[in-house]
């Protein structure tokens, strides 16, 4: 039986919103350079590279009013930062698992999902991600 996984696509704005919601931060675009905001942006950068691989570093940075060099710097600092603050990795893993688990497996043959079942699953996932 051929199975195909449909990986969710998410916009940078929606990803930014998920990070802000999870960390209870008003706006990642804030010009403040506090450790809390910088680490939140690092989480956003890392998730962006994973779930929006076709987006440029410039586009990722633009969403939080930063340039591509800041994105590169944040990605480089990721491994060091999670050693000192494992909570960052926990937040990354939580959001990543939400997005990864929202993928849909479609089977060919007798067990194929109907369009109605897919619609129901998509609407449940949207509610779960607060996009509705």
* Structure tokens belonging to residue 47: 């998730």
DSSP-assigned letters across all residues of 72-104: HHHHHHHHHHHHH-HHHHHHHHHHHHHHHHT-E
Task: Give the domain ranges of the chain.
Answer: 9-102
Percent of the chain with pLDDT over 90: 56
- DSSP, collapsed to helix, strand or coil, labels residue 65 as coil
pLDDT, position 78:
95
Q: Is the CATH code 1.10.357.10 the one for domain 9-102? A: no
Mean pLDDT of 41-57: 93
**pLDDT tens profile 62-119:** 999 999 999 999 999 999 999 999 999 999 999 998 888 765 555 555 455 566 677 7
């Amino acid at each position: 039986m051929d199975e195909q996984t449909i990986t969710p696509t998410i916009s940078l704005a929606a990803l930014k919103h998920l990070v802000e919601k999870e960390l209870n931060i008003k706006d990642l675009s804030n010009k403040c350079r506090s450790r809390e905001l910088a680490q939140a942006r690092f989480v956003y950068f890392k998730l962006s590279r994973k779930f929006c691989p076709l987006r440029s570093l410039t586009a990722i940075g633009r969403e939080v009013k930063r340039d591509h060099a800041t994105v590169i710097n944040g990605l480089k600092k990721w491994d060091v930062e999670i050693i000192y603050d494992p909570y960052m990795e926990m937040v990354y893993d939580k959001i990543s698992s939400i997005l990864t688990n929202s993928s849909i497996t479609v089977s060919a043959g007798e067990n194929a999902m109907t369009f109605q079942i897919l619609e129901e699953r998509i609407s449940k996932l949207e509610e779960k991600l607060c996009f509705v």
